[in-house]
């Protein structure tokens, strides 16, 4: 009822329910429909979910557009994904990768802190890289991330 009346958070939840198949049959069409409705109202996580579905479905242009919108709306997963894309593009894009990872790392995201440290290491900023590696270790509960960060130190 709330989803039908325009509450973006409820519309997003309808998309998630359809995605997970909780109490309903999994239906990608319904996930896309509800996610798009919520994303068009500025729901960051709905925009990210929509981008992932579009990209996986081969709609690369629209998927990339929604990924960028999701990042601009503050979806940390979208910001990390863009950071990783920039990092993979190479040296010319390391500054942009740093910027995206820093946004998320400063919000307490361990994976982004670790990724930021790696980019800073690649740009030869070893002091700041070490600081972000320490921060990644503090933030994570994931043993693999912790071990990788400790190895880098």
pLDDT one-digit tens code per residue, 15-51:
888 888 888 888 889 889 999 999 999 999 999 999 9
Burial of 34 (0-12, 13-18, 19+ CB in 10 A): buried
Say what the pLDDT of residue 4 is: 63
Say what the pLDDT of residue 5 is: 64
Cα 46 from Cα 26, distance rounded (Å): 17
Predicted model pTM = 0.79
pLDDT at 2 over 60: no
Q: Identify the band that residue 106 occupies on the pLDDT scale cut at 50, 70 and 90.
A: very high
Cα 131 from Cα 153, distance rounded (Å): 9
Q: Tokens 């509960």, residue?
A: 141
Contact between residue 120 and residue 92 where contact means Cβ atoms under 8 Å apart: no
Q: Tokens 């930021």, residue?
A: 116
Q: Which helix (H) or strand (E) holds 84?
A: helix 76-89
Say what the pLDDT of residue 23 is: 83
């Amino acid at each position: 009822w709330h989803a039908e009346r325009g509450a973006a958070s409820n519309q997003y939840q309808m998309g998630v329910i359809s995605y997970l198949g909780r109490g309903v049959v999994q239906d990608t069409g319904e996930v896309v429909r509800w996610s798009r409705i919520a994303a068009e109202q500025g729901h960051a996580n709905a925009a990210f979910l929509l981008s992932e579905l579009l990209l996986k479905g081969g709609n690369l242009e629209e998927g990339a557009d929604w990924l960028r919108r999701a990042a601009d709306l503050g979806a940390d997963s979208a910001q990390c994904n863009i950071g990783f894309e920039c990092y993979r593009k190479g040296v010319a894009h390391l500054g942009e990768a740093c910027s995206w990872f820093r946004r998320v790392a400063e919000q307490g995201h361990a994976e982004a802190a670790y990724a930021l440290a790696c980019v800073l290491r690649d740009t030869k900023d070893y002091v700041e890289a070490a600081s972000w590696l320490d921060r990644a270790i503090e933030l994570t509960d994931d043993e693999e991330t912790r071990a990788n960060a400790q190895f880098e130190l």
